[in-house]
Structure 1
Amino acid sequence: MEEIKKLIEWSATGLEVITVIILVAGSLIALVRFILHINIKVADAYYRFKENLGKMLILSLEFLVAADIIKTIALEQTLNNVLILGLLVIIRTFLSWSTTVEIEGHWPWSRGKAEAEAAE
């Protein structure tokens, strides 16, 4: 049983490492793309830079939520740990939604409506 618990803890740590890799690599890729496109149109390059950073941030938040869920399962399942997990999920979900609104200009759940209006 102890081996399984260690495997679960390593899985959570692995997801956190993946998160850091996504943050660093995504930031560098977005920065390089920005530098390469800044001479074309500054406003467009800046918007794409923000969009690339936002998408990278959303992806990394998903990995962090997964790591937190795994940690909560691996640790003692106390009410305090579950409440902390719930708070972290709420905060990260809010960050993900607000980043999506910043990038796409609409709430994540209204994607179908926005696409239907654009098609008309």
Structure 2
Amino acid sequence: MDTFRDDEMQTSFLEVITVVGFGIEAFGILVIIIGSGISTTTFVRTYRSVEEGVAYKKYRKGLGRSIILGLEFLIAGDIIRTVVVADSLENVGILALIILIRSFLSLTLHLEAEGRWPWQKDSAP
């Protein structure tokens, strides 16, 4: 009887973790959508009132930052779902590949948005 209850608890735990992982990923997508909307709205409001190119640079920076933050949540959701729920070596390999691709995107977007690598000090005061 206890074995049945343990299996039921384990199944419930895995279901909760799966939902939490998907929830974190959904939040990451929401961050990207909202950040993109805010960046676009700000760009449309300011592009005629500032110097040429300034609004575009701010737009790219804001858009890049929202994508980077969203990617961080997507990676976190993947890690939670894959490590806790799917414990096969194949799934861990797929997770590693996904994290590698998303981390590369995050680094290159950071370089594009900030003009420096994440580990470099900010030169502007």
User: Is TM > 0.5 for Structure 1 vs Structure 2?
Assistant: yes
1:61 maps to: 71
Amino acid paired to 1:68: D
Deviation >2 Å, runs of 4+ = 73-76
Normalized per residue, which structure has more helix? 1
In the other structure, the counterpart of 2:6 is: none
Mean Cα deviation higher: 76-85 or 56-65 = 76-85
Identity %: 35
Report deviation, 1:81.
0.5
Matches within 5 A, 1:70-89: 70-89=80-99
Task: State the aligned residue count.
Answer: 115
Equivalent position to 1:95, from 73, 80, 105: 105
Q: Which residue of 1 aligns with 2:115?
A: 105
TM-score by length of 1: 0.89
2:32 to 20, 23, 26: 23
For structure 1, the 5+ residue unaligned runs are none
Q: CA RMSD in A?
A: 1.4
Give the Cα separation in 2 of the matches to 1:3 and 1:107.
Answer: 42
Gaps (5+ residues) in structure 2? 1-9
Q: Write the distance in 2 (CA, Å) between the matches of 1:10 and 1:19.
A: 14
Residue 108 of structure 1 aligns to a residue whose secondary structure is coil
Secondary structure of 1:109 counterpart: coil
Q: Which TM-score applies when normalising by structure 2?
A: 0.85
Per-residue CA deviations over 1:9-67 (Å, capped at 9, x if unaligned) read 00011012101211211111111100111112241110010000000000000001001
